[in-house]
Amino acid sequence: MAEAHNPDKYYVPHGSKWPVIGSVAFLFMMTGVSAWLNGSDIGQYVMFGGVAIMLYMLFGWFGTVIDESESGIYNNQVDKSFRTGMSWFIFSEVMFFAAFFGALFYARSFVLPWLDGQSNNFFTNLLLWSGFESSWPSNGPANVGGDYQVMGPLGLPLINTIILLSSSVTITIAHHAIAEGKRNIVLAFLGITVALGFIFVALQAEEYIHAYQEMNLTLETGIYGSTFFMLTGFHGLHVTLGAIILLVVWIRVLRGHFTPTGHFAFEAGAWYWHFVDVVWLGLYIFVYWL
Amino acid sequence: MKRLTTLLLAGFSGAAYADWDVNMPQGVTEISKEVYDLHMIIFWVCVIIAIVVFGAMIFALINHRKSVGAVPDTSMVHSTKAEIVWTVIPVVILVAMAVPAAETLVKMEDTRNPDITIKATGYQWKWHYEYLDQDVSFYSNLDAASNAARQLDSGIDPETVPNYLLNVDKSVVVPVGAKVRVLLTSNDVLHAWWIPEFAVKKDAIPGFINEIWFRAEEVGTYRGVCAELCGRDHGFMPIVVEVRPAEEFATWVAANRADADDQPQLANAVN
Amino acid sequence: MSSATHAADHHDHDDHGPAKGIGRWLFTTNHKDIGTMYLLWSLLMFFVGGAMALVIRAELGMPGMQFVQPDFYNQMVTMHALIMIFGAVMPAFVGLANWMIPMMVGAPDMALPRMNNWSFWILPVAFGILLSTLFLGGAPAGGWTMYPPLVLQTGDAFPMLIFSVHLMGISSIMGAINIIVTIMNMRAPGMTLLKMPLFVWTWLITAYLLIAVMPVLAGAVTMLLTDQFFGTSFFQAAGGGDPVMFQHIFWFFGHPEVYIMILPAFGIVSEIIPTFARKPLFGYDSMVYATASIAFLSFIVWAHHMFTVGMPLTGQLFFMFSTMLIAVPTGVKVFNWTATMWKGAMTFETPMLFSLAFLFLFTIGGFSGLMLAIVPADFQYHDSYFVVAHFHYVLVPGAIFAIIAGAYYWLPKWTGHMYNEKLGKLHFWLTTIFVNLTFFPMHFVGLAGMQRRVPDYNVIYADFNLIATVGAFGFGLSQLLFVVVIWQAARGGKKATAEVWDNPHGLEWTVPSPAPYHTFDEPPTIGDLDDIGRLKGT
Ligand code: HEA
Ligand code: HEA
Ligand code: CUA
Ligand SMILES: [Cu+2]
């Protein structure tokens, strides 16, 4: 035992069944959803089976890590590995969103003007889309998806912005509190953060329903609908994920897992939360506002 | 190693001298000749650099080997002077290359004031041509002989098929010396319209129109292919352009007009 | 929880050997085991992708359709590329990173051992799904570039293509994160960044590229998926989208991707040449800066793959200039390698031979790359076999040769036995002759007007295609020798010393051969690298 706990040694686990289980989960999820999209009903069951395995794996894997961390075999170097790893993971997430923002900017500043005959596309407009005039938002020269209303920056989106911004305030307060070991304050403000997160998601869902039912604004609404729902949709998924992470952290705080110095999981969750926050600001400005 | 290298260089310069089977065609337009020159310049630049760099390597390989009793000069690990030299020289070479390339490119992109304008639309797997001012339009498919020969185990020897896979049932006809503008688009997937002898290649993109132009200076028949993967028969939708004297072109148009008394539609609209 | 159960699974690493049976490979968290799995996987995929290449070459052996239908031909081309790139080259580099980086920086293992295992075990799933499409009504046939609208005609294989690409992305991102964290956080005390071996440096930068662009590819294929199944209009003009937009997003990933496939190769060669020239690497610092500048430039040249899509003139000019610039840092590398050999005392063991071939042949591939950058000329080269020649020169005698060189170089460290030098040299000469026989003639047919991605061609291209086909089969068969050499070395043979070569540089040579299951449980202290590092002699 002494060996394993030796703090000046980097902890290297010996064998783990979780990764392979995760791969099996992927196998079921990906083949399942493929079959489903190809129109076979069993596909969805296979996929949900995979999701179940994935959840089992995540519980098991993180459970193991939490236990190890609790038993104190992680030294600072291990902690640093987790931090560096988490920050690069967030960077990869940023790049994923960058692809969709890129699509938005490219469509707005190049494709639509070209379709309306600008730059070297005189004939594109004259022969193929005569009469089309570039503007934003747009569902394209063929009015794909039919007439629609634009989702403006006020109302729900504004409320959601306020919610997310205040949530990053509350989590910062919780962060300071955890560093000072004030557990109840942590529980209170982290709890508020999680709540705000789920409220945000609920309102987002409300907004979607409104868009689909009253505004005829759907995924099919040309490039505007595509970028709108893909960007806000993926962001919504990330908020949900972040809220779940923070919920887990909240439970761990309840169980007294963290010390003023050792609370990486909390910080990771906080970083992730700030990341979805920043993405939202980008969304609010470029998708709702401009 | 040395043998190999000289062999490779020989191969390259072979490419330079031999006829159009191993090298880019010079083509029959002013532009295509410029492109050919650019190609040869950059090629020789590379050959010369290769001779210098590979020369140095080969010299070292011969003289600085243990078997000939060479002792390593382990103090030789860095030289700012050398670093600067072999950074600056390439930069100079590249700038010198970029200038003429840019000039030619600017000319190639100038599609204004054409004598005739043809709209070419890619289909899986054939081309449709529409002479916007002459009211001539038709489809152009792979010719029957090639099509028969290219079937799996057709038993027909491609050698016996004239212009195998490079021939069509109805070719594009244009007047010699005229500036021909081709408007490219597609009806389904991406295609690309390529005639090596005119040095033109552009993609045909559904929903957009790309412009290219050429001015063929020699009467003749020039063959090209679809140069963008477009599915099963991508390899089987060639392009043939016949460059004819102006009067022959006129008679061809007269013979192929859909309706003799049709007004030119775009003559003015087109800038 | 009770620490008792822990005692079971992780007490004293030091004398903890490998687990028994299949479990060792399924559950392992050991960087050497995982490295071995990656390398064997890559070899397997190289043969599968190669077999597909042989189908391609067989059909192209002579004019006329002899063996396969055009659509199956396109499936072979598409799968060949995807398998070689994501299944052979990238896993080979990750495998080498797994094996060598912890030993090179004096770390007990990779920083995140469990995730390391997952990165590998996702691959068989990804390629299982991708390859299964061959038996489920046809594999993807739209080219590895997956351009819409064509790729949307793929049929049932379509979602499987998309999701396997997602999985490959997840795998590479996790692998890259692991490598970065290991390099940033696990270096032995005293090994400052500028004391790291160049292989570590190139991998650090490659890992950064991977994390930056794999998510973008994931985004691109996700848009394909939603365009196909959920009615979005990203790539349809009618809805205000543009098929060319996909190409921009794809190549924003795709061009860095090609450097992902060459930077670690640069690193390997930069380890091998100094060893056999018996001379420290020339211009270490400038090598590092050159690698960094190549990585930076690789983000602003992507549209050189799209000169024919009808970009505005300014765009074409910008991408031409930025692309040409890359010749400069790459040149710096080539010159540094030459200077490293200069006034050295060279011997020509197999790793050195492959590295030398890399030097000459990669440079030739680089030259053709530079020619491709000249936009007016590229209008002639684009989508012709000249391009195919270019990228096989940089990928096969480039990436693949470097991988083979690395394998020979470190094989004794892995197995504890010297490989059969005679067979190695034979493998080298056959491979090098055949590789040129295969790919050099492609320059000619390309310039002469033969387009890519076609199963049949006019008779004027017959001779060179026949040569290429002969070369390909020769090349392929020569690779069986490689397998024999590896097999022999794994089974037995002359015992290898710890140093293996004539005092090579680097920590990996300070541990016995074969490297024990756990190395550097206690980090070595690197005061001054004189005995083991590149600083020797400076
Ligand atoms: C390992 C992979 C790899 C590498 C390293 C490169 C390196 C380069 N590539 Fe290549 N490329 C590919 C893989 C790679 N490429 C692939 C896979 C494709 C096709 C994708 C597809 O369509 O399927 C492609 C296609 C491709 C195209 C598109 C062609 C077309 O489709 O029309 C272009 C155009 O510019 C290009 C350019 C270059 C350049 C300028 C370099 C430069 O980095 C080369 C720099 C090196 C040198 C120049 C030689 C050494 C330098 C010196 C000795 C110094 C002195 C030299 C001079 C001053 C000239 N490449
Ligand atoms: C790292 C990447 C990589 C590697 C290593 C290779 C390796 C090879 N490639 Fe590659 N190739 C690409 C990447 C690569 N290729 C890409 C990206 C494309 C573009 C695809 C596209 O257009 O979308 C392409 C396209 C491509 C084409 C053009 C197809 C077309 O445009 O129509 C051709 C044609 O000759 C070709 C040939 C070869 C050959 C002969 C090899 C040889 O080096 C392979 C040698 C290896 C072997 C042969 C394996 C040895 C196996 C055995 C000896 C046993 C085999 C088993 C049986 C026979 C049962 N490749
Ligand atoms: Cu049409 Cu290729
Ligand atoms: Cu590129």
Query: What is the rounded distance in angstroms from the CA atom of residue C484 to the CA atom of residue C472?
Result: 19
Query: What is the rounded distance in angstroms from the CA atom of residue C11 to the CA atom of residue C352?
Result: 42
- Residue B265 confidence (pLDDT): 47
Query: What is the rounded distance in angstroms from the CA atom of residue C213 to the CA atom of residue C252?
Result: 7
Q: Which residues of chain B neighbour A121 with C-beta distances below 8 Å?
A: 208-209
- The answer to whether A127 contacts chain C (CB < 8 Å) is no
User: Is the pLDDT confidence value at C355 over 90?
Assistant: yes
Q: Which residues of chain A neighbour B209 with C-beta distances below 8 Å?
A: 121, 123-124, 127-128
Looking at the DSSP bridge assignments, the partners of residue C346 are B65
Q: Which residues line ligand 2 (CB under 6 A)?
A: C 47, 50-51, 53-54, 56-57, 77-78, 80-81, 84-85, 89, 143-145, 388, 392, 395-396, 399-400, 438, 452-454, 472, 475-477, 479-480
Q: Which residues of chain A neighbour B182 with C-beta distances below 8 Å?
A: none
Residue C80 designated active-site: yes
- Residue C529 confidence (pLDDT): 53
Residue nearest to ligand 1 atom 44, measured at CA: C366
Query: What is the rounded distance in angstroms from the CA atom of residue C256 to the CA atom of residue C267?
Result: 16
Mark A259-288 as b/e (b = at least 16 C-beta within 10 Å). Answer: eeeebbbbbbbbebbbbbbebbeebbeebb
Least-confidence region, from B64-73, C34-43, C144-153, C367-376 = B64-73
Closest residue to A120, CB basis, from C10, C164, C312? C312
Contact of C315 with C300, CB cutoff 8 Å:
no
Atom of ligand 2 at shortest distance to CA of C479?
50
Query: What is the rounded distance in angstroms from the CA atom of residue B171 to the CA atom of residue B182?
Result: 14
Closest residue to B185, CB basis, from A115, A120, A128? A128
Mark B228-261 as b/e (b = at least 16 C-beta within 10 Å). Answer: bbbbbbbbbbbbbbbbbeeeebeebbeeeeeeee
- The answer to whether A123 contacts chain B (CB < 8 Å) is yes
- Residue A6 confidence (pLDDT): 66
Mean pLDDT of C175-187: 96
User: Is the pLDDT confidence value at B101 over 70?
Assistant: yes
C392, C452, C469, C475: residue to mutate for ligand 2 pocket, most atoms within 8 A of CB: C392
Residue C417 designated active-site: no
Confidence of residue C6 (pLDDT cuts 50, 70, 90): very low
Chains within contact range of chain C (3+ C-beta pairs < 8 Å): A, B
The 3 state secondary structure assigned to chain A is: CHHHHCCCCCCCCCCCCHHHHHHHHHHHHHHHHHHHHCCCCHHHHHHHHHHHHHHHHHHHHHHHHHHHHHCCCCCHHHHHHHHHHHHHHHHHHHHHHHHHHHHHHHHHHHHHHHHCCCCCCHHHHHHHCCCCCCCCCCCCCCCCCCCCCCCCCCCHHHHHHHHHHHHHHHHHHHHHHHHCCCHHHHHHHHHHHHHHHHHHHHHHHHHHHHHHHCCCCCCCCHHHHHHHHHHHHHHHHHHHHHHHHHHHHHHHHHCCCCCCCCCHHHHHHHHHHHHHHHHHHHHHHHHHHC
Which positions 180-219 of C are in contact with A (Cβ < 8 Å)? Answer: 180-181, 184-186, 211-216, 218-219
- What distance in Å separates residue C1's CA from the closest CA in chain B? 56
Chains within contact range of chain A (3+ C-beta pairs < 8 Å): B, C
Q: Which residues of chain B neighbour A129 with C-beta distances below 8 Å?
A: 207
pLDDT tens-place string over residues C235-285: 999 999 999 999 999 999 999 999 999 999 999 999 999 999 999 999 999
Residue C255 designated active-site: yes
Tell me the CA–centroid distance for residue B108 and ligand 1, in Å.
Answer: 23
Query: What is the rounded distance in angstroms from the CA atom of residue C165 to the CA atom of residue C250?
Result: 12
Confidence of residue C535 (pLDDT cuts 50, 70, 90): very low
pLDDT tens-place string over residues C138-171: 999 999 999 999 999 999 999 999 999 999 999 9
Residue of A nearest to B265 (CA): A127
Phi/psi region, residue C285 (left: phi>0; alpha: psi -120 to 50; beta: rest), is: alpha
Residue C429 designated active-site: no
Closest residue to A88, CB basis, from C180, C310, C313? C180
- What distance in Å separates residue B115's CA from the closest CA in chain A? 16
Beta-carbon contacts of C52 under 8 Å, excluding residues fewer than 6 positions away, are C76, C79, C80, C83
Atom of ligand 3 at shortest distance to CA of B237?
1
- With vertex at residue B185, the alpha carbon angle to CA B244 and CA B201, rounded to the nearest 5 degrees, is 60
Confidence of residue C208 (pLDDT cuts 50, 70, 90): very high
- Residue C527 confidence (pLDDT): 61
Tell me the CA–centroid distance for residue C247 and ligand 4, in Å.
Answer: 12
**Catalytic, out of C31, C279, C304, C413:** C304
- Residue C523 confidence (pLDDT): 83
A-C contacts (CB, under 8 Å): 256
Q: What percent of chain C has pLDDT over 70?
A: 95
Query: Cβ contact (<8 Å) for A120 and B208?
Result: no
Q: Which amino acid is at C151?
A: V
pLDDT tens-place string over residues B204-215: 999 999 999 999
- What distance in Å separates residue C55's CA from the closest CA in chain B? 15
Element (H, E) at C115: helix C113-132
Tell me the CA–centroid distance for residue C50 and ligand 2, in Å.
Answer: 5
Best residue in C247, C286, C308, C457 for a mutation probing chain B (most B CBs within 10 Å): C308
- What distance in Å separates residue A44's CA from the closest CA in chain C? 14
Gyration radius of chain C's alpha carbons: 23
Look at residues A208, B44, A68, B39 and name the one whose alpha carbon lies nearest to residue C446: B39
Closest residue to B271, CB basis, from A122, A124, A127? A122
**DSSP letter (8 states) at residue C495:** B
- Residue B263 confidence (pLDDT): 44
The segments of chain A whose pLDDT lies below 50 read 1-5
Other Cβ atoms closer than 10 A to C521: 17
Look at residues C388, C451, C443, C306 and name the one whose alpha carbon lies nearest to residue B238: C451
- Residue C493 confidence (pLDDT): 87
Phi/psi region, residue C147 (left: phi>0; alpha: psi -120 to 50; beta: rest), is: beta
Question: HSE (CB half, 13 Å, CA atoms) of C415?
Answer: 21
Tell me the CA–centroid distance for residue C150 and ligand 3, in Å.
Answer: 10
Residue C368 designated active-site: no
**Cα separations in angstroms, C462 against B18, C61, C448:** 16, 8, 12
- The answer to whether C466 contacts chain B (CB < 8 Å) is no
User: Is the pLDDT confidence value at C536 over 50?
Assistant: no
- What distance in Å separates residue A213's CA from the closest CA in chain C? 17
Indicate the length of chain B as a whole number: 271
- Residue B268 confidence (pLDDT): 42
User: Is the pLDDT confidence value at B104 over 70?
Assistant: yes
B-C contacts (CB, under 8 Å): 310
What is chain B's mean pLDDT, rounded? 88
pLDDT tens-place string over residues C377-424: 999 999 999 999 999 999 999 999 999 999 999 999 999 999 999 999
User: Is the pLDDT confidence value at B270 over 70?
Assistant: no
Closest residue to C377, CB basis, from B20, B42, B154? B42
Residue B119: phi and psi, rounded to 5, are -95, 120
Q: Which residues line ligand 3 (CB under 6 A)?
A: B 122, 125, 191, 226, 228-230, 234, 237
**Catalytic, out of C259, C337, C408, C457:** C259
